[in-house]
Amino acid sequence: MTNPFFNDLNEIVDFQNVSVQYVIDATEKSISNAKNQLDIIIALNIDDRSFENTMRSFDNMNNDLMKVNELISLLAYVHPKDDIRNQCLESIAEFSKFFNEISLNEYLYKAVKGYELTKEASELVGANKKFLKETVEDFERNGFALPKEKRNELKIIEDKLSDLGIQFDANISSHEDFLKLTEEQIDGLPDDYKNAHRQDDGMYKISMDYPSYIPFMKYSKSDESRKELARKYKNIAADKNLEILKQILIGREKKAVLLGYKTFAEYRIEDRMAKSPQNVWSFENSLKEKVRIKAERDYKELLEVKQNYINDDSVKYIESWEASFYNNILLEKKYELDNQKLKEYFELGNVINGLFTISQHLFGVTFEEITSPSVWSEEVLFYEVKENDKLIARFYLDLYPRKNKYNHAACFGMIPGKKIGEEYQIPTASLVCNFPKPTVDVPSLMTHSDVETFFHEFGHLMHDLLTKAELASLAGTNVARDFVEMPSQIFENWAWDYEALTLFAKHYKSGEVLPKKLHDKMVAAKNVGSGLHVLQQIFYGTLDMTFHDKYDANGTKSTTELVKELQNEITLYKFQEETHFEAGFGHLNGYAAGYYSYLWALVFADDMFSVFEQNGIMNQEIGMKLRKIVLERGATIDEMEIVKEFLGREPNEKAFLKAIGL
């Protein structure tokens, strides 16, 4: 039997016959093949170099690696068998190490740089020109423009940063702290929560993990207990990570300066859509002033709830540890949105039908389910995407929780789009979700939040599947980090629009369409606290940017002093004394001058969706425009140019501000 990881062009993967040995063999063989391909590229004389034998060959090598690595990465998180998952995880580590080797291969850099100096290279246009430019830049951002001794210095910094980052994350994940409370102190929490947290001695143990922390802050009637839990939560890893964070910031600045940048933010943002820290600062500062108007309205509304609750009109402020509690009372009393009742209108089968109807109509394609497919679990569904009866893509839906399965929702790329000879490699991807399983009595009923998540991830899926890019390296979601969430966030809007909802939001028993009254409550509740929420995101983004663009880690101001200063300046909640939130803010390690991209993508996505609002949210002409200009192109042209071309103008914040209730 042939190894399921190696197939002829556009052959379907035989997941049912995957074995540990096939994973081992595929890993070894694909890395070995890639090394041979690299040797051929490197060995060419400069006079013989062409786009075909250097750059396209490099993309071919990447494509061959990706096809195996992506499939193995998926199975590491979804395969039901422990031995296969464990082997896949080992293989991911091997691939990761090899990708690092490629990025630090001096001979490959010289080969690409040598080609860049040729006459043919100087005449490249479009995607090919962009691919060459970005490949050279990636190598040089790894230090290849530096002399040997400086590269050695960079490697020492990189190794230290890697160790510090691992330690920073490990200290957060291994941090253990809790609050022990009496029956009286846990008043307000639901019975199932109490049962899960009750100890043998009758006390309750509240830990720092989300399922424990979030409901407590929302329901606990004990202000003192919420204050103390918040204090502990904002001190996660504070005993270890404050010094580590300082060393990370010092190391990043050293790295940036060595590579010729003024700050780490300048280094980090250069190859993203924003291009420069100045553009990010303009974005954050402009938004901050406008959003503050809505945030102050939200704060006033919340303050009235607090005054009524404690029966004291003289109270003039809300503490950070009180916000979630009073927000929940506001939602229950004023907006009366019953999420349990709402779920009855979102049966999973109906939601899938609606999602498919909308996508097929807007993008001019059809989805056909393949019966009895070869899949990793019998619950997985498999579809082919066709346009005018021609097969153009494939996708899998893995919808329900399983033991040891990835426990969030995500789109996993599997096979990238790519032109191979005269044919096109059919892109393949999967959505891995964890929606409620149907029971004997009740079908799978989704919260509206789950519906929104499904639409979001389907947006990523369409970006991967509808690509027409000729090079795998520029196909689908291989776009700038601050652009990749745009198509997915655009797609969330169909989960909120009433015209779209009437296509699929039907009561699972009666078939009644979601009443307009209930939809109005959904929309009203959506914007409760939206200004306060966005200000908080601006605070996180500004803190991250300040650390990496305007902060001297060797100076006299501590990281905590900066947190206090920015929180009091930007948000409407005062800084909680004796806390060190930054020590447990894992995104400072992961995003590193990139946290802004969450809001950045959302503002652009809302602006782009406004084109549908103006022309009709089911307008196929606009849907095809989104497909042709945004989804098909991947990263073949500059992302900001894609946005401007779709809008037919410069982007702005108006639609975003309207969406949050301004």
Enumerate residues 6+ apart whose C-beta is below 8 A from 33: 64
Q: What share of the chain is helix, strand, coil (3-state, %, to 5)?
A: 60, 10, 30
Q: Per residue in 249-264, is it b (16+ CB within 10 Å) or e — as a string?
A: bbbbbbbbebbebebb
The structure tokens listed for 33 are: 């093949």
The residue annotated as part of the active site, out of 322, 344, 452, 457, is 457
Distance from C-alpha of 277 to C-alpha of 270, rounded to nearest angstrom: 8
Residue found under tokens 């503490």: 319
* Cα 64 to Cα 390: distance, rounded to the nearest angstrom: 24
Burial of 149 (0-12, 13-18, 19+ CB in 10 A): exposed
> What's the chain's length in residues?
662
**C-alpha dist (Å) from residue 434 to 234, 401, 444, 499, 528:** 29, 5, 11, 27, 27
Bridge partners, residue 367, by sequence? 385
The answer to whether the beta carbons of residues 95 and 72 sit under 8 Å apart is: yes
Are 72 and 18 contacting, i.e. CB atoms less than 8 angstroms apart?
no
Phi-psi region of 397 (alpha: psi -120 to 50; beta: other; left: phi over 0): beta
In order, the DSSP letters of 537-581 are: HHHHHHHHHHHHHT--TTSSS-HHHHHHHHHHHHSSSPPPTT--G
Beta bridge partners of 366: 386
Burial 343-382 (b: 16+ CB within 10 A, else e): bbbbbbebbbebbbebbeebbebebeeeeebebbeeebbb
211 phi and psi, to 5 degrees?
A: -60, -20
Angle at 643 between CA 638 and CA 647, to 5 degrees: 145
Rounded to whole angstroms, the Cα distance separating 162 from 182 reads: 43
Cα distance between residue 193 and residue 160, in whole Å: 42
Instruction: Note the helical H segments in 378-447.
Output: none
Spatial distance between the Cα atoms of 658 and 387, rounded to a whole number of angstroms: 36
Angle at 469 between CA 466 and CA 472, to 5 degrees: 105
- For residue 418 the two structure tokens come to 């790519």
Report the distance separating Cα 480 and Cα 463, nearest Å: 13
Span between the terminal Cα atoms of the chain, in Å: 62
Q: At 377, is the secondary structure helix, strand, or coil?
A: coil
Strand partners, 382: 396
Residue 457 falls in the annotated catalytic set: yes
SS3 sequence of 584-620: HCCHHHHCCCCCCHHHHHHHHHHHHHHHHHHHCCCCH
CB 639 within 8 A of CB 605: no
Indicate which residues carry an active-site annotation.
457
